[in-house]
Structure 1
Amino acid sequence: MTTNFVPVRVADLTKTYGTFHALKGVSLDIRAGEFVSILGPSGSGKTTMLQIIGGFARPSSGRVWFGDADVTLLPPQKRDIGVVFQNYALFPHLSVAENIAFPLRARKMLNAEIMARVDKALATVELSGYGARPIAKLSGGQRQRVALARAIVFEPRLILMDEPLSALDKNLRETMQMELRSLHAKLGATIVYVTHDQREALTMSDRVAVMNAGRIVQIDSPRALYASPADDFVAGFVGESTLVPVARAGVDTVRLGDAVLRSARALPSGDQLLIALQAEALLPCEPDEAAADSNYLSGTVRDVVFQGESLKAEVALPGGAEIGFRIPSHHYNTATLPRPGETVRLKLHVQDTEIVPRSAAT
């Protein structure tokens, strides 16, 4: 595959439908060869932004650049992009090879080159030998790979993906996430990927742009996004956190009921602060444990739920807040975890003690 992948820049994009603002002054820079996911709930504007980048919709205002070229007004067929849609949009009356060859025939390439490129694309997505098969004879994962092969066969400058894994079952979706990650490493492609699934975005992306109500709230690497959310919306949407109001007690400390909790970072500005208590960061501990690098909370176990590989426990704190923690469901944890009605003491490392401001949207 070629390496003519381009950086993408969108500047101050606004999109209105009557009085509804789907995008509100969105700006984003994507490096050449970068995998960026646009993550957000339904109605956040993520698909609208992808449509504008691809030329399927025009912004009410703002610009789109591919490299140094302003492509804001170019139609999709002149942008040299590959697109993988949510429903794959394959032609059921054509074979696998004919589906993949379609964009090449539209570009009037010679038949020998078409065959060579189709074979190469099939090998890239690990479907060599499937060219003659009808689409109806393929599994969901195989159809998804055919859609990927068709998107990359003409060596586009940019690949756009709109929730391409949402129709797959959980196990296949997770398998395809790793395959897409490997495919990106193999191609070095610039990829913009839309999803509402935070685990999917964290698994595959170089960076993740979190959207809410038509704006990008935060863009960061998966690890930084998870560890240092910008506000309560990001903290609640990425990971499994309970957000509890706290009072400022110092430069890096807050008060939650009778407990004073220290963060490894200076507290954000503002009077309305919350602690984002990640379920997997809270660990049950002995009543007398007192490590200098940890904070401690105590509460009453309300419920314990077996969820296969993990146990999820709900805990009521003395002030009335309810939080949850999650631990592996091996025999030791199952045998020693306090039962509903019993008291549990939880520890939280200071590096995992995230204090966030309440966002304007909430």
Structure 2
Amino acid sequence: MIRMGHPLAPLPPGSSGFANLGERPREIFRQIVDTYLASGDPVGSRQLSRLLPMALSPASVRNVMQDLEELGLVYAPHTSAGRMPTELGLRFFVDSLLQIGDMEESERAQIEAQVEAASKDHDLEGVLAEATSLLSGLTRGAAVVVTSKDNARLKQIEFVRLEPERALAILVGEDGSVENRVLQVPRDLPASSLVEAANYLNARIRGRTLLDLRSEIEAARKAAQSELDALTARLVEAGLASWGGSGAEHRQLIVRGQANLLEDLTAMADLDRIRLLFADLETKTEVIDLLERAETGEGVRIFIGSENRLFSLSGSSMIAAPLRDGNKRIVGALGVIGPTRLNYARIVPMVDYTAKVVARVVAGGG
């Protein structure tokens, strides 16, 4: 069984109560999802009562199905029809009930053999083409690959909030290439910070790489911090202010003797400069944090339906894993797109394993 290195995705707000589902509703819900994933069809109470490992009448099953519907986990596509899982229900199933299967040894061998054979006759593009073709055949889905290099020269960057704790970084290269990266962001990060960070970066980004930018902004942040420390120390030593707070998240200068400050133009200028530096440091810190998040990736991710705006209308899902080079940096992503009733238990380990084999070949590990 493959153990994933990171949660696939957070459940939506208000869904924590799902964890309190009893054994009976969990089993009924699991059967509804299993039937949907196998056939795409809704399942009714009479059919469920025959599938369940416990003895329940169709009437008892209908009561539980009604409870699941009120939780938003299932719905009836037609009047008097059976139930199917909602997108929220699929997300709950994937995060809480899905049992990731192990791959057949023959499948592992096939992936390794074809990817490694491609690496002897082709460049990186050829290897990725072979990997996507292989995945498409094994999963009967549409395999996709996105490649990127952090040394690519950029023209523009934008941040778009997707969820309270996720944002999309859109990187536009000078060569016209466009790359999207999903980032984890603090829940309390205001939307204005994403706009300010993008404006700050776009004023400096043209012709630079992400690595160049982060190094440059970090140097500027350290210089600003040094200036702030010197100015703050001067006011504190003069007895006109005191320093309250510790760490970048709790900066605070408590000013005393404002009347004295008004008479001391130098102190007033220092105080104004300190206020500007506070704002500057906050911006730089948030920008650096977003850049670091844009340069890193997570383990296998599952996007279901409208969780990804690309698939919100088509009712599709995507299972994707990052590709890393020998220095563990993200150089792309490999994935499978298909209907929301994808065989997640089978495809998740397959995407994960293929991405690791490709990454090993890309890194020169054979």
TM-score (norm 1): 0.29
Whose helix fraction is larger, Structure 1's or Structure 2's?
A: 2
Name the structure where strand makes up a greater proportion of residues. 1
Return the index of the structure with the highest Cα Rg. 2
TM-score between the two structures when normalised by the length of structure 2 = 0.29
